[in-house]
Amino acid sequence: GESVGLHLPTLSVQEGDNSIINCAYSNSASDYFIWYKQESGKGPQFIIDIRSNMDKRQGQRVTVLLNKTVKHLSLQIAATQPGDSAVYFCAENLGDNFNKFYFGSGTKLNVKP
Amino acid sequence: ETGVTQTPRHLVMGMTNKKSLKCEQHLGHNAMYWYKQSAKKPLELMFVYSLEERVENNSVPSRFSPECPNSSHLFLHLHTLQPEDSALYLCASSWGTGELFFGEGSRLTVL
């Protein structure tokens, strides 16, 4: 199967600081990437996505960067808040008709007050 | 009403039991999915249904049997499961090749 991995299993940041969560993907043919947030006891929730024809996309307090040369994806969260504490997953998609997303193992973000 | 609803939220069953997980989506999507989430492992794709037709099995054991009677409903029938099948089972839906919308999951414990 595909391999999507996260560099750090746990990340602790101070409230108000910026957070950066990294992800490596293995398939150079992947053309669609999504970051999901999963809070305890809940299902994964869409945060932001990016297609391979872009290298940066911004949302509200979040930015996703895509480096296709080294097959690396990152999620930046500005002014991290306690409500951002969760597990974050990156997912890659080959863009074929069957919409199969392959997920990384997740990074747990702890926001300290 | 939430977009993707899963029932039950929690299920405990013995290895000889037969039970079913249910998923319903209210988003008008045309594809539905079952994922398995085990501790310390990435989400594993189990089944994909597009327009009620199964298009992906992903080598799942036959003790898991999916059913998609229409584009809004998806079931996962369980029988003679093993303790290692204990996990969070997540249902998702999408429109075409767009993002997945997940339900809250069904936490399954097999004794």
The reported pLDDT for the residue numbered B3 is: 94
Q: Which residue has the higher pLDDT, B92 or A101?
A: B92
Flag whether pLDDT at A6 surpasses 60. no
Q: What is the pLDDT of residue A59?
A: 95
**Contact in structure between A89 and A103 (CB atoms under 8 Å):** yes
Mutation site, A37, A101, A105, A108, interface B, largest B CB count within 10 A: A101
Alpha-carbon distance of A79 to B85, in angstroms, equals: 39
- A103–B42 CB contact, under 8 Å: yes
Yes or no, beta carbons of A97 and B42 under 8 Å apart:
no
In contact, A100 and B48? CB cutoff 8 Å: yes
Burial class (CB in 10 A: 0-12, 13-18, 19+), B92: buried
pLDDT tens digits for range B1-20: 569 999 999 999 998 889 99
Answer whether B5 touches A (CB < 8 Å).
Answer: no
String of b and e for B64-78 (b: at least 16 CB within 10 Å)? bebebeebbebbbeb
What letter represents residue B88's amino acid? L
For A60-72, how does the pLDDT look when each residue is reduced to its tens digit (9 = 90+)? 999 999 999 999 9
Q: For residue B68, what are the contacts with CB-CB under 8 A and spacing of at least 6?
A: B32, B49, B52, B53, B54, B74, B75
pLDDT, residue A2, reads: 39
Look at residue A91 and give its three-state secondary structure: strand
Q: Which residues of B touch A44 (CB under 8 A)?
A: 43, 90, 100, 102
Chain A with chain B: Cβ pairs closer than 8 A: 60
Q: Is B10 on the interface with A (CB under 8 A)?
A: no
Question: Using the beta-carbon criterion (under 8 Å), do A105 and B41 form an inter-chain contact?
Answer: yes
pLDDT value for A96: 67
SS3 B66: strand
pLDDT in tens, A23-61: 999 888 899 999 999 999 899 999 999 999 999 999 999
Tens of pLDDT, residue by residue over B51-91, are 878 877 778 999 999 999 999 999 999 999 999 999 999 99
CA distance B50 to B33: 9
Which chain B residue lies closest to A48 (C-alpha atoms)?
B99
CB contacts of B7 in chain A (<8 Å) are: none
DSSP class of B38 = -
From the CB of residue A70, how many other CB atoms can be counted at a distance below 10 Å?
7
Q: Lowest-confidence range among A3-17, A33-47, B43-57, B86-100?
A: A3-17
Residue A7: predicted pLDDT: 46
User: Average pLDDT, stretch B16-26?
Assistant: 95
